[in-house]
Chains A and B, each alone.
Chain A
Amino acid sequence: MARMKFICDAERCIECNGCVTACKSEHEVPWGVNRRRLVTVNDGKPGERSISVACMHCTDAPCMAVCPVDCFYKTEEGVVLHDKDLCVGCGYCFYACPFGAPQFPQAGAFGLRGKMDKCTFCAGGPEENASAEEYRKYGRNRLAEGKLPACAEMCSTKALLAGDAEVLTKIYKTRVVTRGKGDEIWGWSMAYGGSGMLADQPGGKA
């Protein structure tokens, strides 16, 4: 088994929040914690795009590097998980994460932070698979049931894909080739708009 990854196709995402709702519902995530959320650019304007963002299960995860109590681990499948029994809720991982994935439930008055909570790729955590304890702390372990994350499986337009990186790459490649974007499949103009000419890019010379 290779690396488990998410990919969100901005050309397909319709900002329905189905993935957010599926995640919330599947794991009974507490109020104020959003393991997954939608980010929209150019809202209400031509060129509006949305993507669904959660923990991206980084290959070299910065949260793992900064954790002072070493509560993070990576599974054989490349899923980044953590032990809530060890987490002290310091928030270092939140500052390190480029995606804002770590979430902290309010644990009392004056903004006290609880233990960190994040997307588990529906793989539970370090408790017995499918146990009540695992569900209470980390949510449902769909991976142990041979299923993919609920957010991706719930996505109505199949904008959000989850699974083995190799498989996702093939699916996405087929899509892009079928759409017929030609040379604009990758690169500056696809990512940031504009002509894609080197001269039009910041620092580019005519």
Chain B
Amino acid sequence: MKTIMTAAAALAAAFWLGGCTEIAQEPGKSYAGKEDAKPYAGDQFKGDKAKWEVALAERSQKQDDYRPHSAADKK
């Protein structure tokens, strides 16, 4: 009887500890569609990622109406 109780307790402990296992939160699914081109791959930026990022960052800053305006903005 004692052996059965011990085995049951060990099994319960194993299940209980199993609940602590970290399960991957990423869906882990793969994209099945067509490959998309990079936004900087076109004629305008010719694959220059840095140039594209600078262009986008400048554009983003123009949304800030508290920033000090440069002479170039007033043109």
A residues near B (Cβ < 8 Å) are 1, 60, 64-65, 67, 69-73, 75-77, 81-83, 85-86, 123-130, 141, 143-148, 152-153, 158, 161-164, 167-168, 170-171, 174-175, 178
The answer to whether A147 touches B66, judged by C-beta atoms less than 8 angstroms apart, is no
**Chain B 32-69 residues near chain A, CB threshold 8 A:** 32-45, 49, 52-53, 55-57, 59-61, 63-66
Interface assignment of B19: CB less than 8 Å from any CB of chain A: no
Which residues of chain A come closer than 8 Å to B33, judged between CB atoms?
A: 70-71, 73, 82-83, 85-86, 126
B29 part of interface (Cβ distance < 8 Å): yes
State whether A174 touches B66 (Cβ < 8 A). yes
**Judging by beta carbons under 8 Å apart, are A146 and B65 in contact?**
no
B18 at the interface (CB under 8 A from A): no
Known A-B contacts A73-B31, A144-B44; A163 and B36 likewise in contact (beta carbons under 8 Å): no
Q: Pick 24 A–B contacts, CB within 8 A, sort by A.
A: A1-B56, A67-B29, A70-B33, A71-B33, A72-B31, A76-B38, A77-B39, A83-B31, A83-B34, A86-B32, A123-B39, A126-B34, A128-B37, A130-B42, A130-B43, A143-B56, A144-B41, A146-B52, A148-B60, A148-B63, A158-B63, A164-B57, A167-B60, A168-B60
Chain A's closest residue to B61 (CB) is A167
Within 8 Å by CB of A145, from B29, B41, B44, B49, lies B44
Give bound CA distance, A125 to B31, whole Å.
Answer: 13
Docked CA distance A40–B60 (Å): 26
The closest CB in chain A to the CB of B56 belongs to: A146
Whether B6 is near chain A, meaning CB under 8 Å from some CB there, is no
Q: Please measure, in the bound complex, the distance between the C-alpha atom of A128 and the C-alpha atom of B30, giving whole angstroms.
A: 21
By size class, the interface of chain B is 20 to 34
Bound: A126/B39 CA distance, A: 11
| Bound Cα distance from A125 to B41, whole angstroms | 14
Complex interface: chain B residues within 8 A of A158 (CB):
63, 65
Closest A residue by C-beta to B37: A129
Q: How far is the CB of B26 from chain A (nearest CB, A)?
A: 8
Instruction: Report B45 CB to chain A, min CB distance, Å.
Output: 7
B3 located at the interface, meaning its Cβ lies under 8 Å from any Cβ of chain A in the complex:
no
For B32, the closest partner residue in chain A by CB is A70
